[in-house]
A and B are shown apart, each in its own frame.
Chain A
Amino acid sequence: MILIGERINAGFKDIARAIREHDPQPVVKWAKKQAACGADYLDVNIGAASRDPADMAWLVEVVQGAVPTPISVDSNRPEVIRAGLEALDGRAAIVNSTTADDDKLEAIVPLAAEAGAGIIGVAMDARGSPQDVARRVENGAKIFMACVEAGIPPEMIFLDPVLMPIRFMQEQATKVLEAIREYTLLSDPPPHISVGLSNICSQTRERSLIARTFLVMAMAMGLDAAICNVLDDELLDAAATAELILNREIYSDGYLKAFRMRRGGG
């Protein structure tokens, strides 16, 4: 399971302030915390806190100074993504993200290809978020083909079927699960399949429970990556247990410890 730490995002007030004031301290703190939990990538996002690509470069540099973890450069604006990729110190990275729109594919996919980075393709288009399985599959396949044509190997492509809040769009979750299964049939080996896990539990009381329950259901369908709260111990325990049940890991009584040890976490 590839876990991408979600916390260095301007959607959080402390990170937004840190970006505006160029205060590295909160960024360093969350980078270290998430790395200690075994995050495979750290997502970095300047969001609405800034429109200046230089701020993305600053954010990437601060994270790189704090931990050796690979980075997920998170923006929908090509110039911000470019600034983030150019600030990399040679470590592995993924671009988060492109959509299925032609103008996005043309602008963002080559950036990832040139940088040797992976890429997340979110199965949205100009019409908005997909409401059914067919649109998710159509957009996912389109992104996948564009990335392969640009020279990005399948094992560096992540497809995101667009997870919706359960509170407002309850009927969408099963459609996401079906789309995940369809994505596994796109190629052999299949691309990675990732979701923004915290979307599903937005504005709910049982955030952690809803997130981890969906995670294990989605893993059963073929999900193998998630942008999520890696500090949620119960979420990591559920992911570790799902990997066992999917027979990806040999059982031992200490498998929870083994799961964390394998990803360098404590």
Chain B
Amino acid sequence: MAIEVPDVRESFSQAIYTVTLGATPQEGGTRERTVTVGGERALPFHHFDGEIPHPPVVAMEVWDIPPQDWPPVVRTPFQDVLDDPGRWAAKCVEEYGADLICLRLVGCDPNGANRSPEEAVQAVRRVLEAVKVPLIIWGCGAPDKDNDVFPAVAEAAQGENCLLGTITEDNYKTLTALATAYGHKVIAESPVDINIAKQVNILAMDAGFPLEGLVMYPSTAALGYGLEYVYTIMERTRIAGLRGDKLMAMPMLVDVGREAWGVKEARAPKEEQPQWGDERVRGPFWEAATAYTYLLAGADILIMRHPEAVRATKLTIGKLMGEGA
């Protein structure tokens, strides 16, 4: 006798907002292709519950100045291009299959190289010319300096439909206004705090920015360093969004490379930690393992560094999306 299995599929009332980045010449930009994320009506990879129209994507990180604090394992693949953001970006796309480029304007940091808005614009132009994928442009994180730099950067990238970041609870008016004026999307950042995450979205909406133009960045922690806190926040955010909370229904972004390559488990050479094994294997693995976990939490965009970690993560995304099945 056949046993009847109850139908336990979940259905949700609302889809996550669909966000498209980049613009082709027909759309007023110069990108060869656009990248679309979001639109899912189910928890991550629960294809049996609802439609998941767009796979998560990987953005590779490029800096406007050569990074000093990257360990050798993650510097080596880019050794010949670290002083040129254009060639660096091209290598990420052409050799390593990056879906997007995340240009980080670290050089503008007033406590570092303190580069000018004009120099930032040069870096943006270099990357826009060198690659034809959409761009994420991430400020140096010093609010006053970002507010000085972004007017020039947003204008220089006008019409390219970039993802600009970040806005926070204390600094959101300048960037949302610029994104509206020059046709870009915005990253809404919160410090591992779901209540503030929602508040940032409310503030952006109140400033007249459309909720459909936001990507949420709930902060990121590396494996072993509070990853599970971020995970639960992302999970709760996604469930609220799917259940109808319009203020929580945005695609989510995680900054995997920066966090993973900041911890000793990824960085320490074998000579210092012989029992941990070869850092050339361990480091990329640490980054990939961190990325996999966030995929399961609902990440739509992952920013990553090491080519091996990127390759493994993209392979995993393909499998979880049912490719080749």
Chain A residues within CB distance 8 Å of chain B: 249-254, 257-258, 261-262
Contact = CB atoms under 8 A, between A and B. Distances in A.
B246 A261 contact: yes
A250 B240 contact: yes
Given A251-B195, A252-B195, A253-B195, A261 B205 contact: yes
Interface of B: 194-199, 202-203, 205-206, 236-237, 240, 245-248
A229 B254 CA distance: 44
Given A258-B247, A262-B246, A250 B205 contact: no
A262 B13 CA distance: 14
A2 to B, nearest CB: 14
Contact of B245 (A249, A253, A254, A257): A249
A254 B246 contact: no
A253 B236 CA distance: 18
Contact of B199 (A249, A253, A261, A262): A253
A261 B247 contact: yes
Given A261-B205, A261-B246, A250 B236 contact: yes
Contacts of A262: 245-247
A257 B195 contact: no
Contacts of A258: 198, 202, 247
A261 B245 CA distance: 11
Contacts of B194: 250
A42 B195 CA distance: 32
A250 B240 CA distance: 8
Contact of A254 (B203, B236, B237, B240): B203
A251 B190 CA distance: 14
Contacts of B248: 250
B198 A250 contact: yes
A44 to B, nearest CB: 27
Given A261-B246, A261-B247, A250 B206 contact: no
Nearest to B197: A252
A41 B75 CA distance: 61
Contacts of A254: 198-199, 202-203, 206
13 contacts: A251-B198, A252-B195, A252-B197, A252-B198, A253-B202, A254-B202, A254-B203, A258-B198, A261-B202, A261-B205, A261-B246, A261-B247, A262-B247
A250 B245 contact: yes
Nearest to A251: B195
B199 A252 contact: yes
Nearest to B200: A252
Contacts of B247: 252, 258, 261-262
Nearest to B194: A250
Given A252-B196, A253-B202, A258-B247, 13 more contacts: A249-B245, A250-B194, A250-B236, A251-B198, A253-B195, A253-B199, A254-B199, A254-B202, A257-B206, A261-B202, A261-B246, A261-B247, A262-B247
A258 to B, nearest CB: 6
A260 B246 CA distance: 12
Contacts of B245: 249-250, 262
A233 to B, nearest CB: 17
A254 B197 CA distance: 11
Nearest to A257: B202
A172 B240 CA distance: 37
Contacts of A257: 202, 206
Nearest to A253: B199
Could you say which of A251, A253, A254, A262 has the most chain B C-beta atoms within 10 Å of its C-beta?
A254
A251 B194 CA distance: 8
Could you say which of A251, A252, A254, A261 has the most chain B C-beta atoms within 10 Å of its C-beta?
A252
A261 B211 CA distance: 12
Contacts of B198: 250-252, 254, 258
A92 to B, nearest CB: 15
